[in-house]
Amino acid sequence: MNRRTLNIGLLALGASTLVPRFSWAAVDHDAALKPRVEGDPNAKLTMIEYSSLTCPHCATFHKETLPQIRETYINTGKLKLEMRDFPLDQYALRAAAMARCAPDSRYFPLMDMLFAQQSKWTRATDPVGAIKQIGRLAGISAEQADACMTDEKLMDGILQFRLAGQTDHDVSSTPTFVIGDQKVVGAQPFEAFQKAIDPQLG
């Protein structure tokens, strides 16, 4: 989504005032904020994805290009994908927080579902309610989703991923991919990823 990043302080403020706080069971921050990796952890090459769940170009990548990358590189053990949230607005932050409360086995399927249904939930009268409906399909109750989407420590941790992307990899738009020593910006076709991946696999 070719937009300059928003001010982190304003984003955090918007997130903290969107919906009321709930006193459900405490969120497991260590589990929620640990690296979310798809593929063989011992794969030779890592692809880091910085994306926002409200970014249409990110949704395009997940629907059109990622399946090919999975088939060619991830499922064959050559590449692992690490997801790092780069929320561009308060709803992307909320959705990322809910997704990170999902267990490992459901995290990437839930992310795929959020991207696949992005045009529906982002345009809903109640986007947060629509996010929670998608979460239910991954086994996340409404109460748990509320707890995750209002947890300040969890959301601060997600915003730190974004800040690290800016400082470590000069990320300014989504999606941005860091593949070994190569950088791919935007929802590029599969061939662009091949050019970045194949030489590094030798």
Q: Is the separation of the CB atoms in 138 and 73 below 8 Å?
A: no
pTM for the model stands at: 0.86
What is the predicted pLDDT for the residue at 22? Answer: 32
User: ω before 175 within 30° of 0 (cis)?
Assistant: yes
Q: What is the pLDDT of residues 72-106, one digit of tens each?
A: 999 999 999 999 999 999 999 999 999 999 999 99
**Cα angle vertex 149, ends 58, 91, to 5°?**
35
Q: Domains (ranges, CATH) in the chain?
A: 12-201 (3.40.30.10)
Q: What is the pLDDT of residues 29-67, one digit of tens each?
A: 999 999 999 999 999 999 999 999 999 999 999 999 999
Across the range 117-136, mean pLDDT stands at 97
Please say if the pLDDT value at position 14 is more than 50: no
Tokens of 14: 């918007």
Q: What is the pLDDT of residues 162-202, one digit of tens each?
A: 999 999 999 999 999 999 999 999 999 999 999 999 999 98
* Beta strands 182-185; 176-179: pairing state: antiparallel
